[in-house]
Amino acid sequence: MTEIHPHIEAVSQEIKETPIHLFIWRRVQRYAPGILLLVAVGYFALVCSYFLTGLSYIPMSILLGAFISNSFGLHPALEKGISTYELWLKVGIVLLGAQVAFTQLGIYWLKVLPLAILIVLLGFFITLAIGKCFRLPRPLTILIAAGSGICGVSAIINTSKRIGASEEETEYAVGTVLVFGALAIVLYPILGRLLGLSEQIYGTWTGLSVNNTAEVVATGYTLGAVAGTIAIATKLCRILTLGAVISIIDRIDSGESTPRDITIQNIWKHTPKFILAFVVLSIVSSLGFLSAEDKTSLYNLSSWFFLMAFAGIGFRLKWSDLSKVGYRPLLAGGISTLFIASISLVISMIIT
């Protein structure tokens, strides 16, 4: 018998015991305040960007969210709604699938996927070696390696369950990748302009090297729409490696050298399903089922969802949490991040 997720089971029980109108009203009360705050912060940042020439709404939205969170804190009533920012991010990414021709996406993925796998594996094993040099606990090193190499916080959470990492180690690893994800949003656009990178090279570099999907979207779109779309497409290649890498981690953690559990079933289990929705919408668009007006509407809608997601990124950046990480995990994560960023930049320049 398949195990039911505790949260889903609790919600199902609540639906059975509560009239549907009351159930819906409770959900509105829990989520609406925080969601409205995401919309307000994102819209305010957009308005400010019109008056402050040269300043994109993306960093403005993130900085405003971080300022509110760290200066005033967040009322508990806002937490549920703000936590939905990852949902809006994924919906925004899915809607962008309508802008990408499936033939172009397929050809691009065939070119980038082997390189994404190479960078993920190099980053993972280099981080393991760095963590050993810094004498970090092995579970913490594996978590930082997974977060730096694959897809940030999502990879850390998936991996922590597999290796039995403590809550403290998981928090340290999450804090580490959040630090460098935040730095990427600031530094990558500056470096991209200083180096004179095209949007194609910049987008590929961002997608191959920045940790979290949210930060990839924010970092990519800061330089332009083309760079943002390419960054997302490249990042999805890295996410596709999640199942295979977790299987390798299982073998490493159990002391076996042969990753025999790399199966289609395992890869499917750990592959985020929103990637499939992105591909399906790309196919639908490529087959001509969407008009130019439809594509424009979906693009505008995705931009609104991204606005909410960027505000959520800012609210998540709490300096008090990040200060608990300590210097050794930060140093190890910093060296690993620098290595991944450097090799990714060289590869992006070669293949683009």
pLDDT, tens digit, 9 for 90 and up, residues 157-188: 878 877 878 888 888 888 888 888 888 988 99
pLDDT value of position 280 = 93
pLDDT, tens digit, 9 for 90 and up, residues 130-160: 998 988 888 888 889 888 877 777 788 878 8
Do residues 92 and 306 lie in contact, with contact meaning Cβ atoms separated by under 8 Å? yes
Determine if the pTM surpasses 0.75.
yes
Task: Report the distance separating Cα 330 and Cα 303, nearest Å.
Answer: 33
Q: How much is the average pLDDT of 329-335?
A: 89
Among 78, 39, 97, smallest CA distance to 304 is for 39
pLDDT, tens digit, 9 for 90 and up, residues 37-49: 999 999 999 888 8
Mean pLDDT of the chain: 84
Q: How much is the average pLDDT of 233-253?
A: 76
Residue spans of alpha helices (H) in the chain: 6-17, 20-51, 57-72, 76-82, 85-96, 102-133, 138-146, 153-163, 167-194, 199-209, 213-223, 225-240, 242-253, 264-270, 274-286, 292-316, 319-322, 327-351
pLDDT band with cut points at 50, 70 and 90 for residue 73: confident
Least confident range from 199-203, 259-263, 324-328: namely 259-263
pLDDT value of position 242 = 73
pLDDT value of position 352 = 76
How many residues are present in the chain?
Answer: 352
Task: Report the distance separating Cα 90 and Cα 96, nearest Å.
Answer: 10
- Whether the pLDDT of residue 33 is over 90: the answer is yes
pLDDT band with cut points at 50, 70 and 90 for residue 339: very high
pLDDT, tens digit, 9 for 90 and up, residues 194-236: 999 999 999 999 999 998 888 899 999 988 889 999 999 999 8
